[in-house]
Amino acid sequence: MKILIQAAKILDSNSPFHKKEKNVLIQNGRIADIGDKNFQADKLIKAEGMILSTGWFDLGTYVGDPGLEHKEDLESVGKAAAAGGFTEIATLPNTSPSIQTKNDVSYLIKGNSNRLVQLHPLASVTKNNKGEDLTEMIDLHEAGAVGFTDGLKPVWHTDIFLKSLQYLQKFNGVLIDHPEDIWLNMFGQMHEGLNSALLGLKGMPSIAEEIAISRNIKLLTYAGGRLHLSRLSTSKSIGLVRAAKKKMNITCDITAYQPLLDDSMLAGFDTNYKTNPPLRTKSDNDSLIKALKDGTIDVITSGHTPQDEESKSIEFDHADAGIVNLQTFAANLVSLSKDVKWDVLIEKVTTGPRTVLGLKQPSIDVDAKANLTLLDPNREWKFDEKTNLSKSKNSPWFNQTLTGKAVAVFNNDKQWLDL
């Protein structure tokens, strides 16, 4: 089947067609031709005003499979990711059991040959993500793990963190950490500040993230290696990373929703705004936007953290943190595009995450494999029971009309279209 994408704006810094409007012909899973001609095709996609990029990659998607499939399983996350514009996702290891053996890694990747959305396992740094004993990281790497992390939990143990950096250098592996001082954040419900005081909720101070980052940077300076900091949220955190980038191999990401939401939105005790790290202040958000522009932030992630109804529809103090955000990610990007250029945003969801993990970069060029995402930044749609493909619906945008949607993805000789 031949599919022609007509008059899309190509954004791919690795492509000779970067920032140009071209017609792209896809046949048998490859890009058969690119140009100004209206190539013969079985299906025409009129893409004027749309953005065509290499396939989006999510660095750190939470999936409950194995063990917590009621939150999200491999089938549902694949559907939600494709509908959100992703062709590849790196999965977090916070499952039951955690991803800590070769068999665990094999379970996740064995179906990739038949999947549109490719799964790349991030394996646990410590057994059961407890921070106490190292996993067999070389074996896990050889089995197909693309990075090492305790996922939604920090690598809190200083000696374990140090040994992980040293151990991973044997194969140039990357340590991914969610920086958090768990003792300072103990029992915390939201960002510590005026709003937490007004609401009578125990706060999670900015310094809990910043102390962890300072420690991590000092350990990286001492041990060497590669470090990626995930889900940063504060102005000072960004400043620490900005300074460290001048001296060492360190990268970082933020979730797409972090700069768009702030702690004032918790006034109604809506648990869908409860996240970790918590929503911070508007001043912090301005710093994140600036860091996207100047290149301090390397990657934008979805922050997709599905939680079942029982975990969210309870008292705020007892609710679990997290937002489902694969399908609403494109709408987040549209909101961010008011302050950040599109080519910068696209780079942080395509080349950025693959560079962190050392994976091959796809390209929009003739005869290249079709690993593509087509975004309509003007498409209006409603995120509700009918359109939600995740098993969970913990989202502040649920039942809202959004602007911005991925309308086509191509990968592994498969496609998903919403046109």
Q: Which two tokens stand for residue 257?
A: 């929703």
Residue 13's Cβ-count burial label (10 Å; 0-12, 13-18, 19+) is: middle
Stretch (H or E) spanning 411: strand 400-411
Reference 324, options 277, 273, 400, 263; nearest CA is 273
Average pLDDT estimate for 29-48: 96
Task: Output the pLDDT for position 202.
Answer: 98
Task: Output the pLDDT for position 144.
Answer: 98
Task: Output the pLDDT for position 321.
Answer: 98
Average pLDDT estimate for 294-321: 97
Task: Output the pLDDT for position 91.
Answer: 98
Task: Output the pLDDT for position 419.
Answer: 92
Task: Output the pLDDT for position 346.
Answer: 98
**Residue 374 identity:** L
Average pLDDT estimate for 394-413: 98
DSSP string for 311-376: HHSS-GGGPPP-B--STTHHHHHHHHTTTS-HHHHHHTTTHHHHHHHTPPPP--STTSB--EEEEE
Q: 2-51+366-417, what's its fold? A: Urease, subunit C; domain 1 (2.30.40)
* Residue 70 pLDDT level (bands cut at 50, 70, 90): very high
Task: Output the pLDDT for position 169.
Answer: 98
At 94-145, the pLDDT tens digits run: 999 999 999 999 999 999 999 999 999 999 999 999 999 999 999 999 999 9
Task: Output the pLDDT for position 167.
Answer: 97
Q: Which two tokens stand for residue 149?
A: 């992390």
Task: Count Cα neighbours of 15 within 13 Å in the Cβ-side half-sphere.
Answer: 32
Which CATH number applies to 55-357?
Answer: 3.20.20.140
Task: Output the pLDDT for position 200.
Answer: 97
- In angstroms, the CA 380 to CA 361 distance is 31
* Residue 48 pLDDT level (bands cut at 50, 70, 90): very high
For residue 409, the SS3 value is: strand
* Residue 222 pLDDT level (bands cut at 50, 70, 90): very high
Torsion of CA 73, 75, 76, 77, to 10 degrees: 80
Question: For residues 17 and 56, is the Cβ–Cβ distance under 8 A?
Answer: no
Looking at every residue in the chain, the average pLDDT score rounds to 98
The domain spans of the chain are 2-51+366-417, 55-357
Average pLDDT estimate for 10-35: 97
Q: What is the pTM of this model?
A: 0.97
Owner of token pair 């999510």: 58
* Residue 206 pLDDT level (bands cut at 50, 70, 90): very high
* Residue 184 pLDDT level (bands cut at 50, 70, 90): very high
